Amino acid sequence: MEEFQTIASLDLGSSLTKVVIGRIVGDYELEIVGMGVYPSAGIKNGAIINIETTSKSIIEAVSDAELMAGQEVESVVVNVSGKSIRSMNEKGIIAVTNKNRVISEADIVRVIEAAQNVHVPADMEILHVLAREFRVDDQSNIRDPVGMTGVRLESEVHIVTAGSTVLHNIDRSLESSNLYAMDRVLSCLASSEAVLTQGEKDLGTAVIDIGAGVCDIVVYIEGGIAFTSTVPLGSSHITSDISIGLKTTLEVAEVLKKKYGNLNPEQIDPTSKIDLPPISGRNARSIFHQELVDIIEPRAREILEMIDMDLTKSGLKSQMSGGIILTGGGSLLNGMDVLAEDVLGLSTARAKPAALTGLADKVASPEYATAVGLIKYVGKIHSMQERIGRSGMDREGWTTKVRRWMQDNL
């Protein structure tokens, strides 16, 4: 019987710490076998600010997931997010020196290494180097140059770096939870793996994961990653605005946001009222629904305008025929897709993790896009590596798989 690989993921979110345990079945199917979630107390705007409380949340979420899955978790694939993330597009050039000038896998490795030859500040580390496209002599837009003939090979890559302290704090929190990181993956890379199809990546699509403390953005053009960024605002800022504006607790504000928050102006009855519960020193009272909407709308618009500034800066909006896919818990706010379409000027849809079996309903919410995507992302690399190993005798298959793997993951 074929053995399936079990992988556990850890999404260190600003509001919720989520753990998902899944088994990779075949190429792309993911069977969910366990999950656990616990409020995050030590994470702000996507980065750890308190190792002790973060570790407590990890331990609680992991133990719930272990119980559900009936197995122990020793290692996790963990997300990296926050404002320390930087990304850049770089080029590498090498001369093809083999006999007959036929490009080999070794040349691909060399040309990608050449592109990595960039200055990284001492307090930053490279997290990902993602191949976008290759050029052989004067021919551009090549996805796979192995076997082609040429004298000059160029690569275009997307490099993602993260603050060393941020990565160190993740490792320390895992250590305190008796876990180790089998891999560290940029949040939006993971989220997009959970909600985007290859067709959407080819068409040119942006995924925006609206979290509690940050919005993670990734743009795919012609199947490859062309742009990533993080906006240091999220849905928790809407909650705190409600709490301040209506002079109520964050807990009440959170309930009001989820229950009555709505960015569709035509769905608000100007005469309808909402009852607010009594809080210490104040009696129960009621407000017009419109008052709540008037607090939520400007902040939601500000978040989307900051996202729009980044997308505009990328210069890729005109190539995004697939439009925008919203995910993350913040995308659940009623009418967020409508306002996004208005502010960003591109067709917008919401998405939650897809192509799941097992306890799929437990993670069938946009809040789990990162946690589910982390498993899918790493599963893709591992299954590719495994098959590369297994099919060593099948020369034709071997090269094809090595190339795919390198293109996706180097």
Ligand X SMILES: Nc1ncnc2c1ncn2[C@@H]1O[C@H](COP(=O)(O)OP(=O)(O)OP(=O)(O)O)[C@@H](O)[C@H]1O
Q: Which stretch binds Mg ion (CB under 5 A): 13-21, 113-121, 242-250, 270-278?
A: 13-21
Residues that contact ligand X, how many (by CB under 6 A): 24
Residues that contact Mg ion, how many (by CB under 5 A): 3
Residue nearest to Mg ion (CB): 211
Assess 254 for contact with ligand X (CB under 6 A).
Answer: yes
Assess 14 for contact with ligand X (CB under 6 A).
Answer: yes
DSSP notation for 24-86: EETTTEEEEEEEEEEE-SSEETTEES-HHHHHHHHHHHHHHHHHHHTS---EEEEEE-STT-E
Could you tell me how far CA 286 lies from the centroid of its own chain? 39
Residues 321 and 329: their CA atoms lie apart, in Å, by 25
Q: 123 is written with which tokens?
A: 């307090």
Q: 383 is written with which tokens?
A: 């299954």
Nearer to ligand X, 49 or 118 (CB): 49
From the list Mg ion, ligand X, none, which binds 162 (C-beta under 5 to 8 Å, kind-based)?
A: none
Nearer to Mg ion, 215 or 406 (CB): 215
- Could you give the strand order of the β-sheet that contains 86-95, starting from the edge strand earlier in sequence? 86-95, 152-163, 124-136, 139-142
From the list ligand X, Mg ion, none, which binds 323 (C-beta under 5 to 8 Å, kind-based)?
A: none
Contact (CB, 8 A) for 42 and 52: yes
Assess 323 for contact with ligand X (CB under 6 A).
Answer: no
Contact (CB, 8 A) for 191 and 18: no
233 to 262, contacts with Mg ion by CB under 5 A? none
Q: Which of 86, 258, 301, 382 binds ligand X (CB under 6 A)?
A: 258
Assess 22 for contact with ligand X (CB under 6 A).
Answer: no
Assess 224 for contact with Mg ion (CB under 5 A).
Answer: no
Residues 360 and 368: their CA atoms lie apart, in Å, by 11
Q: 313 is written with which tokens?
A: 């800066």
From the list Mg ion, ligand X, none, which binds 15 (C-beta under 5 to 8 Å, kind-based)?
A: ligand X
From the list ligand X, Mg ion, none, which binds 30 (C-beta under 5 to 8 Å, kind-based)?
A: none
Assess 46 for contact with ligand X (CB under 6 A).
Answer: yes
Assess 329 for contact with ligand X (CB under 6 A).
Answer: yes
Assess 212 for contact with ligand X (CB under 6 A).
Answer: yes
Assess 236 for contact with ligand X (CB under 6 A).
Answer: yes
Max intra-chain CA distance, the chain: 85
**Cα torsion 58, 59, 63, 69: sign:** positive
Assess 191 for contact with ligand X (CB under 6 A).
Answer: no
Q: Which of 42, 150, 204, 213 binds ligand X (CB under 6 A)?
A: 213
Q: Which of 7, 13, 35, 84 binds Mg ion (CB under 5 A)?
A: 13
361 to 390, contacts with ligand X by CB under 6 A? 367
Q: Shortest gap between Cβ of 131 and Mg ion (angstroms)?
A: 26
Q: Which of 145, 261, 353, 379 binds ligand X (CB under 6 A)?
A: 261
Residues 236 and 187: their CA atoms lie apart, in Å, by 18
Q: Shortest gap between Cβ of 12 and Mg ion (angstroms)?
A: 8
Residues 364 and 297: their CA atoms lie apart, in Å, by 27
User: Which 3 state secondary structure label does DSSP give 190?
Assistant: helix
Contact (CB, 8 A) for 142 and 111: no
From the list Mg ion, ligand X, none, which binds 163 (C-beta under 5 to 8 Å, kind-based)?
A: none
Nearer to ligand X, 57 or 383 (CB): 57
Residues 256 and 245: their CA atoms lie apart, in Å, by 12
DSSP notation for 80-147: E-STT-EEEEEEEEEE--SGGGB--HHHHHHHHHHHT-----TTEEEEEEEEEEEEETTEEEES--TT
Which letter does DSSP use for residue 262 in this model?
A: B
Q: Which of 42, 145, 204, 211 binds Mg ion (CB under 5 A)?
A: 211
Q: Which stretch binds ligand X (CB under 6 A): 11-19, 121-129, 134-142, 382-390?
A: 11-19
Q: Shortest gap between Cβ of 352 and ligand X (angstroms)?
A: 11
Tell me which residues touch ligand X (CB under 6 A): 13-16, 46, 81, 211-214, 234-236, 239, 254, 257-258, 261, 328-330, 332-333, 367
Interface residues toward Mg ion, by CB under 5 A = 13, 211, 370
